[in-house]
Structure 1
């Protein structure tokens, strides 16, 4: 004879495991201060009016639990891109160091559900849905190390570091989940960048296209 079952046993057996709330999911996505926020790569473009701007895409965005590319990783398959507002940079020379002085400026992050960006067309990185805009907090000093003496000097490597406040963000759906970069990044990021010493192929309307990579850390809650 089977033993009697507790009246609530049947309903308990059918009880579904509760899914975490959106607030709990957002809390789980939030990065700690100093935690890796993203890896990005792009190019600095100098146009014919001597204005600089950087355009590119994200190799990794912390908190996004879905493939960031539609196929192999490249500029033409990236779902998440960025584009800066053009600016005019100053310069200082100190021996074998050439210093670029970038003013306060803004850049935006875009979601391209159908990837359409290409380094052959810098403006294409600003297509899609604008999901966040950040502003550099102050002057950015980029350092290019050169070798040689006098006119024979040639660049070896360039680097910079800057912090940027998150000005605004918009929630978005991607890969079946809902995200908001404000909930992930908090106040913004600090990015460390490394640039090549030589130009990549230059599209029409520009004089220079320098490849770079950037690694950013989250600033944490506001």
Structure 2
């Protein structure tokens, strides 16, 4: 096992935000990179259906603030967990599929998350272009596991947690599955908070 230094790259993730018909939000997806060296992240060609390491958030409700061409989403403190799927089963048409397998770590966002959507005026209408957010999350639980012939522990690799920078699509082009009215793809990159002491 190798521990990351503070501010060293921790992960790349991609997923989708899902909004239910009652306005609740949650994000689900998988990892493109984790600090688990010599461990296969995919069982075949990289994609959601072959990902061994997935994540799922606890649903939450966001508030909105507008400032000119900026639309701000205020997400409350909440939790998300990482899963090891020895037999990959992720499917973006079934968000709950990313919360299967062995829960290997749980994080809690350290504060309110502000997501920003930028709009540009085209003619007489403002069209959203992209969205971004930044948040820090503290590791609150970690379970050591064996995979790829080695023993791993997210707590050892990442230390206290991560700070993640995310970019999201803001134009709904992905048809939502039953029970949802909006789906937006995103990608996130995180750096390690490092260890105390």
TM-score by length of 1: 0.86
Aligned to 2:63: 90
CA RMSD of aligned residues (A): 1.2
Moved over 4 A (4+): none
Q: 1:44 to 1:69 in 2, by over 3 A?
A: same
* CA distance in structure 2 between the partners assigned to 1:89 and 1:151 by the alignment: 28
Q: CA deviation at 1:201?
A: 2.2
Which structure is higher in strand share?
2
Match of 1:196 among 155, 169, 174: 169
Task: Point out where structure 2 has 5 or more consecutive residues left out of the alignment.
Answer: none
The answer to whether 1:46 aligns with 2:19 is: yes
Structure number, greater radius of gyration = 1
Equivalent residues, number: 195
Match of 2:180 among 168, 191, 206: 206
* CA distance in structure 1 between the partners assigned to 2:72 and 2:124 by the alignment: 17
Report SS of the residue matched to 1:153.
Answer: strand
Aligned to 2:191: 217
Q: 1:151 to 1:112 in 2, by over 3 A?
A: farther
TM-score by length of 2: 0.96
Using CA pairs under 8 Å that are at least 6 residues apart, name the structure with larger relative contact order, 1 or 2.
2
* 1:152-193 deviations in Å (ceiling 9; x for gaps): 211101000000000010000110000000000000000000
Q: CA deviation at 1:45?
A: 0.4
